[in-house]
Amino acid sequence: MREEAAPIEEKTAGNQAAVAANEPPLPENWLRVIVTIWIGQACSILTAYSSIYAGVWYVTETTDSALMLALASLCSMLPQGLLSPLGGVVADRFNRKYVLIAADAFVGTVALIMGVIILMGHVSVPLVLIMGALRSVGQAFHIPAMESTTPMLVPKKHLVRINTLNQSLWSLALIVGPVFGIFLYTVIGFQMVLFLNAVGCALACLALVFAKIPDFHDTSDEARHPIQSLKAGFNVLRADYGLLVMAGIVMGVMAMYAGINSLFPLMTYDQFNGDGYMASTVEAAYGVMSLVGMGILFAWGGGRHLLRTVSVSGFFAGLLLVAAGLLTPDMFMWFVVLTGASGVVEAFFNGPLLAVLQKRVPPEKLGRVMGLFTTVSALSSPIGLSLAGTCAEFTGVSNWFIIAGAVIALCGVLLGALPILRKLDAEVAATLGDPHVTKKAPRAGGRTSRKAEDEQGAKSAGDGENAGSPAMRADDATAVDNTAVAAKSDDVANASSYDDLDVTVRIPQRRAAQSAAVFREGADESASAAAASAESESAR
């Protein structure tokens, strides 16, 4: 791969330069902006999941029907899957900051209205289903806008880390949401959980208001027409065959994952004769170890070859599922261990995969592509659930673990072995640096100022020594100019190594004054030498 790196970088340099030219400058305080947004989103997501599970518990208590629970899940997923492409169009057409604020405000308003209706005594199962569907509509606009905004705020080499940080928030919500939501439902009531969700959404909107997000959107004529804009998003994938192949394989992996995740409680119950306590132990092991895996990925950064990381993650995750399906009924603790290990391994899948898209797709079309991928993820879930539910009835749950694990492992191999995807991985790996990062101007006494003084002092000395010879003065001036041009070129060449750093060299005032005094003394000595040389020439 090292021999291929240089040609690939030369081949993609022009394309990456064109993409970088269209990107907005990164803010100087990008980390502060990310932390502000993340805290606001944490308030919104944690309270939203609490209200979701409170609604699930209400449906469970009221109907005691698996069909109604399945209908509630469908209402919470289907609008997001169908409307996410439209959400991507809106994210590319308008200021993404305002799209995010509008989406959070919409979800908070829905929670507030539903809370007031329940407080008035009109709670019902259809109301809970409507609430889940409307929240899903808000997510259809929020997710593409957020995922297309992140690359505008984060240096490229940190994209995997920030994506992992966002994924950890969703994982934490999956762990804390059910416990917190059901606890609040039983202690303070359903309506208070919804009011708490409204407060969380308000805090998220407030954080977005104070965050400095660049106003960047597609201003082309096609972006003004939703249908043409959506076609442009499809054309991005059609033009990049590697992304299209990757999307197809990833959809297969997600469908298998969706079906397997729903079967873990049944696997505990059927294969190991377990109870609710044992099933919760398995879920807790997966959730905690997935956070551990995300912590490792956050510290590491995912490396240069992101698709290779995704491929290895999918392959070993599939092998762990196959091993879990081969366990005997007396090996429950090994099932817990394998489930925890799969949580660690699967944490290396989503973050790098999302970064591949964020690095590859032009920023003005990223919202539409993210909307399409959100649709792929959302619609693969019901496909995987129906496939797993049907096939597991005939094969048995443990055998379906083996089959699904083998399919996921094969998909992992394809992600790392197909030539078109290896080429895509190498091209993404060549996109290093952020030449568009906004930097602070150097202060007085800094490195640039001292360098200018050096050049000025050298030029003054050269003028003094060659005062009697116009030809020599011209030659030396040319040499000084060439030196300055070369130094400037070196600075430009070296800037890419520090694209995403915001460094200002500070020198104490006393040291700066001493440096200036030394240059002044050198200039005075040069002037004296020039005068003496002129007098000797006159004497001759």
What are the pLDDT digits (tens) for 318-363?
999 999 999 999 999 999 999 999 999 999 998 899 888 888 888 8
Distance CA 31, CA 456 (A): 38
| Top-confidence range, 192-201, 218-227, 267-276 | 192-201
Whether residue 327 contacts residue 271, with contact meaning beta carbons closer than 8 Å, is answered with yes
Give the model's pLDDT for residue 463.
Answer: 47
The CB-side HSE value for 99 (13 A sphere, CA atoms) comes to: 29
Residue 432 has pLDDT above 70, yes or no: no
Give me the DSSP letters along 22-33: HSPPPPTTHHHH
CB atoms within 10 A of CB 510: 8
Give the model's pLDDT for residue 22.
Answer: 56
Residue 450 has pLDDT above 70, yes or no: no
Whether residue 454 contacts residue 523, with contact meaning beta carbons closer than 8 Å, is answered with no
Q: What is the 3-state secondary structure (H, E, C) of 218-246?
A: CCCCHHHCHHHHHHHHHHHHHHCHHHHHH
Give the model's pLDDT for residue 311.
Answer: 94
Q: Which residues contact 49 (CB under 8 A, 6 or more apart)?
A: 173, 174, 176, 177, 178, 180, 181
| CB-count burial class (<10 Å; 0-12, 13-18, 19+) for 377 | buried
If you search the block for the tokens 């005094």, which residue do you land on? 517
Give the model's pLDDT for residue 374.
Answer: 81
Ramachandran category for residue 303: left, alpha or beta (phi over 0 → left; psi -120 to 50 → alpha): left
Length of the chain: 540
For residue range 52-79, what is the model confidence (pLDDT) as tens digits?
888 888 887 888 776 777 778 778 888 8
pLDDT grade, residue 220 (50/70/90)? confident
How many angstroms separate the Cα of 111 from the Cα of each of 127, 132, 134, 202?
Answer: 11, 10, 9, 11
Give the model's pLDDT for residue 419.
Answer: 94
Q: Over range 88-97, report the average pLDDT.
A: 90
Q: Over range 365-390, report the average pLDDT.
A: 80
CA 328 to mean position of chain CA atoms: 40
To the nearest whole number, what is the mean pLDDT of the chain? Answer: 77
Give the model's pLDDT for residue 230.
Answer: 74
Put simply, whether the predicted model's pTM sits higher than 0.85 gets the answer no
Terminal Cα-to-Cα distance of the chain (whole angstroms): 71
Domains identified in the chain and CATH numbers? 26-217 (1.20.1250.20), 229-438 (1.20.1250.20), 447-539 (no CATH)
Percent of the chain with pLDDT over 90: 27
CB atoms within 10 A of CB 423: 14
Residue 199 has pLDDT above 90, yes or no: yes
Residue 297 has pLDDT above 80, yes or no: yes
